[in-house]
Structure 1
């Protein structure tokens, strides 16, 4: 069985700051393990909101809290779960395809930047956790 959780990892980006302030550079195919085809960000979510709650058949993501903080729960459908705290603008989390993700516990000033390997395609999203568990079992066989 292919373990997608083994591929989930934190990424630290180079912080090129000096006396003028901080500068973080993030390049697709270099700092990010894929070419970036889509970027979007979330803000204005409070601590009670849960975002995500889906898996993707093809898309890989890197999530970076460029301001504030949030948590990301990652599940693999086989009972394994990891929680990451994104609270530094020079770190991110790489999420491969076929992992379940939930973003939550947003600080009031949170801006969560998401970089994606694919253009948006609603048909590759799995939005029901029970369906995800069934599909991940078939995906891994």
Structure 2
């Protein structure tokens, strides 16, 4: 599986009261086991800096924007997330760095597994091996 953008179904309110997006059924290729979110990330800071052996993660910029730099060991790709109806599915064994957070940005992560330290690759040198 490759990392990719997934469109989240969006319901537009005909009375102009705002939009609603829903993640259910087969939007994601796995059942969600953990949800967490990043916020109040200081300007110039980065997050991530790891890969997962088994766990899949789906990142959504529910507010603001940020960049995700993906590295599969052969090539790097930068993806900007800035729409709450689009998310980035990150494949296993993909190094990720989150950077360039806008003021007030919130990143929600829907994970295929509960926290398990043994699933993390935290050193880039180990990842490249």
TM range (shorter): over 0.9
Question: Could you tell me which residue of structure 2 aligns to residue 137 of structure 1?
Answer: none
| Inter-partner Cα distance in structure 2 for 1:91 and 1:69 | 12
Aligned length: 127
Tell me which residue corresponds to 1:44: 40
> Cα offset for 1:47?
3.0
- Structure with more of its chain in helix, by fraction: 1
Say whether residues 1:114 and 2:118 are aligned partners: no
Residue number in structure 1 paired with 2:125? 130
Aligned counterpart, 1:58:
54
In the TM superposition, what is the alpha-carbon distance from 1:46 to its structure 2 partner? 2.5
| Inter-partner Cα distance in structure 2 for 1:58 and 1:118 | 8
Give unpaired runs (5+ residues) of structure 1. Answer: 135-141
**Does the 8 Å CA contact 1:62/1:116 hold for their aligned counterparts?**
yes
* Structure 1 stretches of at least 4 aligned residues deviating more than 3 Å after TM superposition: none
Pairing 1:26-45 to 2, within 5 Å after superposition: 26-27=23-24, 30-45=26-41
- Cα distance between partner residues in 2 of 1:13 and 1:47: 28
TM-score w.r.t. length of structure 1: 0.87
Unaligned ranges ≥5, structure 2: none
Which of these residues, 89, 95, 98, is aligned with residue 94 of structure 1? 89
Separation in 2 of the partners of 1:76 and 1:58? 14
Over the aligned positions, Cα root-mean-square deviation in angstroms equals: 1.0
- Structure 2 length as normaliser, TM-score? 0.95
Aligned-pair distance for 1:105? Answer: 0.4
In structure 2, distance between residues paired with 1:14 and 1:103: 24
